[in-house]
Amino acid sequence: MYGISKEEALIMHIDLNSAFATTEQQAHPHLRGKPMGVTNRISKECCVIAASYEAKALGIKVGMRRTEAMAICPEFVLLETDPPKYNAVYQKLIKIMQSYSDNIKMKSIDEGIIDFHGMQHILNGKTLEEVGYEIKQRVKDEIGDWMKINVGIGTNRFLAKEAAGWHKPDGLDKIDHTNLVKYYKERKLTDLSGIAERYGARLNAYGIMTAMDFLKAPEYMLKKQVFKSINGTYWYQRLRGFEMDDHETSLGMVGRQWVVKDPSDKDSYLLPCLSFLCETTGMKLRYREVEARGVAVWVTYQNGEYWHQRRMHKSTFYTNQEIYRRALELFNQRPHGIVRTMGIYTYMLTPSQVSQLSMFDDITKVRNITKAVDEINDFYGTFTVYAGTSLEGKKIIKQKIPFGGTEYFELLLKTA
């Protein structure tokens, strides 16, 4: 009726329930079944970056300040993050997933996709639901008995993720042409993955108030009026179970931002921090094996104003010193004021040319010293050798667990 895909559901989405909090409950048996959470650095105004299901049931949400969480539940326990512990769980989860298919993709530290297309022969007649229950049991046996995962099976990545979130926690669901309409009837528009408040409001403006309205909306309307781009067609197909998300996104920019610990307008405080941000940006560039042509610096001020400056260069660069030199030129142009947050990013990225021979001696020397410093830091731990200009910045800026992607997780662990 709605042109729904009749394809066999062969995409499995696996999602660790409240990953960091559940891992801490696994490690701390006395915290199991209790409201608890995890934060990067404990302070009076720190934020909850992961909350246990027990805490969520009380209304404690991710992003909430510690004081707010304690007001809801005075017994709420907050622990600091432990990256090596989460990495151990992440690595074990990857190992389990890879034992079913080579075609896996981790979407973030706590969720991943197994694509079973062409892998039916290794299932030995088992259904994907049976495989899902088997993976659940293996997670308990091989990671820990408190660990719970949601498993979703769908004809595309979108429906698999939706299925994984259908009956949290510890759910296992499949969405295909037989129950797709039933699923949409149960959901609100903003329950759908990728439809948050802004998109929701845009859809509402065109009379699309529910998930079912979204399914019923004609393709031309979504493309020409609602999204005003090809995204409308993508949504039309995605909602019907056709795969629209099986592609790699290209790397657009690499950088680092920082909420200034003690907002300040003094160069003596801000410049070492900028230098440190440039060092971590350089590390990321070399880790991704790319070089940049553009650099940008931005600042937000205590009074709410925003300043931004960017510049393209003729030649590419990748060393910490080059990034800092170019960023400093821009940073020195900023209007005077108390800086609250600052950031730097590099763009126009191209594959690294470090392996190519250079005609010029000084370029070769720069390459060699950068390579040598990276090797020392790799062996003895990151920031064993670093620029003198970053000395004070390193003391002030703390490395944190990133949300979302896992691109730099290995790199982060070296500093943990």
Partner 1 sequence: MDPTIQINELVPMVPIFKPDASEILRCYPYKMKYRNQEIEFTIFGMRHPTAKGKRMIHVFDMSDGINDYRIEFDAERLLWTLVSMVEGHDVRD
Give the interface with partner 1 as residue ranges (CB under 8 A): 23, 26-32, 42, 77-80, 84-85, 87-89, 141-144, 379-381, 416
Environment class of 324 (CB within 10 Å of its CB; exposed 0-12, middle 13-18, buried 19+): buried
Q: What whole-number distance in Å separates Cα of residue 282 and Cα of residue 302?
A: 28
State which residue, 175 or 401, has the beta carbon closest to partner 1: 401
42 or 338: CB nearest partner 1 = 42
Q: Tell the smallest beta-carbon distance from residue 141 to partner 1 (Å).
A: 7
Closest contact distance (angstroms) between CB of 183 and partner 1 is 35
Contacts 24+ apart (CB under 8 A), 130-137: 131/12, 131/100, 132/12, 132/172, 133/172, 135/14, 135/96, 135/97, 135/100, 136/170, 136/172
Query: By C-beta, is 79 or 215 nearer to partner 1?
Result: 79
Nearer to partner 1, 19 or 349 (CB): 19
User: From the CB of 351, what's the least distance to partner 1, in Å?
Assistant: 30
**Smallest gap, in angstroms, from Cβ of residue 91 to partner 1?**
9
As a whole number of angstroms, the longest Cα–Cα distance in the chain is 69
In the bound state with partner 1, the residue whose beta carbon lies nearer, of 81 and 319, is 81
Minimum CB separation from partner 1 for residue 194, in Å? 33
3-state helix, strand, coil in the chain (%, to 5): 45, 20, 35
Q: Which is nearer to partner 1, 220 or 380 (CB)?
A: 380
Kindly give the interhelix angle for 83-98 and 19-27, rounded to the nearest 10 degrees. Answer: 100
**Residue 29 Cβ, how far from partner 1 at the closest point, in Å?**
4
Q: Which residues contact 379 (CB under 8 A, 6 or more apart)?
A: none
Residue 15 DSSP one-character state:
E
CB of 4 to partner 1, least distance (A): 43
Nearest distance from residue 381's CB to partner 1, in Å?
A: 6
Q: What is the pairing mode between strands 290-301 and 339-351? A: antiparallel
What the block records as the tokens of 377 is 């830091």
Residue among 88 and 259 whose Cβ is closer to partner 1: 88
The one-letter amino acid code at 60 reads I
Question: What is the pairing mode between strands 36-39 and 77-80?
Answer: parallel
Identity of the residue, 206 or 380, whose beta carbon is nearer to partner 1 in the bound complex: 380
Query: Nearer Cβ to partner 1, position 145 or 246?
Result: 145
d(CA 60, CA 40): 17
Beta-carbon count within 10 A of 39 CB: 21
Q: Do residues 117 and 160 lie in contact, with contact meaning Cβ atoms separated by under 8 Å? A: no
**Residue 127 to residues 38, 167, 174, 183, 305, Cα–Cα distance (Å):** 37, 20, 11, 21, 56
For residues 87 and 264, which CB has a smaller minimum distance to partner 1 in the complex? 87
Least distance between partner 1 and beta carbon 81 (Å): 11
Name beta bridge partners: 310.
Answer: 296
Report CA 209 to chain centroid distance, whole Å. 29
Residue 400 CB, shortest distance to partner 1, in Å, is: 16
